[in-house]
Structure 1
Amino acid sequence: MVSPEDRGFTAANAARAAATACRRAGLPFEQARLVRLGENAIYALPAQNAVVRVARSVEMMDKVTTELTVSRWLIEQGYLAAAPLNELPQPVQADGRLVTFWEYVPPCATTPRLSDLAALLRELHALPDPGFPLPSLDPFPIMRRRLEHASGVEQRDVEFLFEACDLSEAEFRRVVATAPASVIHGDAHSGNLLVRGEQVLLIDFEAVAMGPSGWDLIPTAMAIDRFGLSHAEYQQFTQTYGRDITHWDGYEQLRTVQELAMTTWLMQNVQEVPHAAEFALRMQSLRKEDRQARWHAL
């Protein structure tokens, strides 16, 4: 377990877990490069053609094993997904974390487009039943877990977010219960795309679930208000996918929950200066119910 003096998820303790797991797997970690620190810590080992992914806690075992199972299934379906390194034993428990190993995709000068995301989501949502159990879409447990473990956050902010979750949950469940369910990514945005040669890959499958396809479309739709996405780019997205989710009756209700999920995710790294300022901005807009306030992607 993570010791009391080492609580929180930092680049330092994530690197220790990654180094321990790499040693057990026979991979050198000395030249590892931190790519991202968010819900997970991602380290690149280009010379070994490997990516090391560190989950925050062993409590995430179900999500991590689902991610591995889903990625393998997608590849069997011919879907363009990042692949786990099946020759290595995984997941590895190390220092209270869970570590997995994935194929390394070198940086590319080509930037994936939102239309690429739309095409991948359209194909994902059309896939057949996978033949193994997937969780039903339910972001509330992880949001509440984040709030229960909040560190460096004012109590009034934690209380507000707890209450916002309580207020939005009934409508969320009503919408989800009445919408057709398919395989959904659960965290669909352009940051989860990689370019490999002429192909665009979808990555990060720990939030894959059965739920309404609209959940995967809302982050792009709300980006017009929150992140300055142009209407022209959004139009390309909707034309490629074949649907404008803003016309759906459940859009506003599920957008509210998406914004809470984005804010509680950011809250986990509030000790860092850019994240603290952005968290304060988001909290202000949520309190004021300001749907047009501009947020910043971090």
Structure 2
Amino acid sequence: MIELQSGQNTIGILPETGAAIAFWRDGATDILVPVPDPNLEAQHGVAVAGYPLIPYSNRIAQGQFSFNEGNYRLTPNMRGETHSIHGNAWEHEWKVAQHDVNRAILYFDHKPETERDFAEWPFPYRAVLSFILTGDALQIEILLANRGDVPQPVGFGYHPFFRRTPDMRVAFSARGVWENDAAHLPTALLPSTGKWDFSKAQRVDTLNVDHCFAGWAHEARLSYSDAGYDVVISATSIFDHIVMFTSPEKPFLALEAVTNMNDAIHHPEVLDAGLTILKPGDALSGTITYHIDRNMARAS
């Protein structure tokens, strides 16, 4: 494990477990909570507090897609699912390029050479994650480079598990929310009104949500009034979608800044689906910042 520290702010990173975050703490307080998920078999039961979504976020329906006259079939990578989920970078060991007291840079090269490699993702790429820790923030930069000789359709994001408490509230503005079918695939874009309006903070304790929001304002706030702090999530403009996943029986809320809508590759009719066609030699990057706003929790 790599450990970074800045003041009372500490984080553990697991290169061998897909560059996942092992923990993130502010003093004795868990900002992110480690969660073991036996359905993510490649994590081998290791409890993680966050992991990267590369080279796409969320689902590709039935693990199948067509692109540039090619037809591709991916191996489902979550137990009990027929879809492929969250790319393949989280399934592999990453290498450490740089590591000092408050910064770490890790990278992963996907080189599809075997049938199994192609079934994970048929195009070669390099992914780079930069973690920077300050006294009150964690910054994660994601870079994805096309290392092949043909274009490829890509997206990315990060999947953090925030500690869920009875007093926790969540707030962000978005243009709309994607309604899901029984297979958790998007069917229609609904306006962010009524129960989907998070522009004013909503309590988390009763939420049961697994949805992708489109056109969010690139800033969200998680409030812990009893503990006296907020976490403010901000992201660069490439992250035009945000996924919320939580339910009353879960000890966490996942609020994932991502570039693409769920199953974006099957929705060419959606102009802002967020899928990027990355040309050979080109790279795509963006930054997510998680800022601890101490003693500033706001009641709504």
TM-score range, shorter chain: under 0.3
TM-score, normalised to structure 1's length?
Answer: 0.27
Bigger fraction of residues in helix:
1
